[in-house]
């Protein structure tokens, strides 16, 4: 995968952009953008001769803005403000985020997260970010967030996952952003796989970025994100995160996710 020091149009998934974290944080320091301001930089990406003008830094920026709002107004308040209708999170069982967050008191100290890498579909309608997460108790791990472009031109998240890691993620010097290859997709990939039961997932309008989650009966889960690779004419998995079921004092799964 090649990386280019550019914020211009990205012709394919194999081209990407990088930028210093400090530069992006400075741009988000004022907090979430107003709807009118965000509409100027969002919206479905234009495509010319197979090139995409989707911008993965918008996904990074959305994560940074949500984290800043969590510091200012509280964790649950911030996540609720940025959640899309039908958004799902894990506590550890999957829950509809807006219902679960509504009216819930904020923790005294919010979690913190810092995006390291992002992906966006060729048409810009869906993106994902992954990076470092730190719980309010000092626990360190990862987070994955999936963001969907809304009719008003703003991105809101549709899935969030966090998990502990034995070793904290290293902070990169540069943030990486990748745009999925543009279609048309081959017939075998034209439709996303069906999602049923305690599985959830979604795809961009053009099908070039997809996400899925699967939760086992004991609240263990797996989260994946994939992007379209035109050269291989296949979806390439770029994120795979597994979380083991929470265990009780007897060493057995302590919770059921079948109810």
Q: Which CATH number covers residue 181? A: 3.10.450.50
Q: Is residue 187 part of a domain?
A: yes
Distance CA 22, CA 32 (A): 17
Band of pLDDT at residue 190, cut at 50, 70 and 90:
low
Phi (first) and psi of residue 200, to 5 degrees: -140, 155
Residue 192 has which token pair? 């996303």
Q: Is residue 235 part of a domain?
A: yes
Residue 91 has which token pair? 């506590």
Residue 81 has which token pair? 């403000």
pLDDT tens for each residue of 129-188: 999 999 999 999 999 999 999 999 999 999 999 999 999 999 998 999 999 999 888 877
Band of pLDDT at residue 43, cut at 50, 70 and 90:
very low
Q: In terms of DSSP H, where are the helices of 74-158?
A: 75-82, 97-101
pLDDT confidence of residue 167:
93
Tally of structural domains, the chain: 1
The DSSP letter of residue 56 is: T
Q: Is residue 11 part of a domain?
A: no
pLDDT confidence of residue 169:
95
Q: Is residue 191 part of a domain?
A: yes
pTM of the model: 0.81
């Amino acid at each position: 995968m090649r990386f280019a020091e550019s914020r211009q149009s990205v012709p394919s998934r194999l081209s990407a952009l990088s930028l210093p974290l400090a530069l992006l944080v400075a741009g988000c320091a004022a907090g979430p953008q107003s709807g009118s301001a965000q509409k100027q930089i969002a919206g479905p990406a234009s495509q010319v001769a197979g090139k995409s003008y989707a911008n993965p830094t918008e996904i990074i920026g959305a994560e940074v803005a949500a984290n800043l709002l969590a510091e200012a107004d509280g964790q649950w308040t911030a996540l609720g403000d940025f959640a899309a209708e039908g958004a799902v999170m894990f506590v550890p069982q999957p829950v509809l985020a807006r219902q679960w967050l509504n009216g819930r008191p904020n923790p005294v100290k919010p979690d913190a997260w810092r995006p390291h890498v992002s992906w966006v579909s060729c048409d810009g309608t869906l993106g994902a970010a992954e990076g470092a997460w730190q719980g309010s108790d000092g626990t360190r791990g990862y987070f994955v967030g999936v963001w969907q472009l809304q009719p008003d031109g703003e991105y809101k998240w549709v899935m969030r996952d966090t998990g502990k890691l034995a070793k904290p993620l290293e902070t990169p010097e540069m943030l990486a952003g990748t745009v999925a290859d543009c279609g048309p997709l081959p017939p075998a990939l034209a439709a996303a796989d069906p999602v049923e039961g305690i599985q959830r997932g979604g795809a961009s309008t053009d099908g070039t970025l997809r996400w899925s989650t699967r939760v086992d009966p004991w609240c263990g889960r797996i989260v994946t994100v994939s992007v379209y690779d035109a050269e291989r004419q296949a979806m390439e998995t770029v994120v795979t995160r597994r979380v083991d079921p929470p265990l009780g004092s007897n060493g057995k799964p302590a919770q059921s996710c079948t109810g």
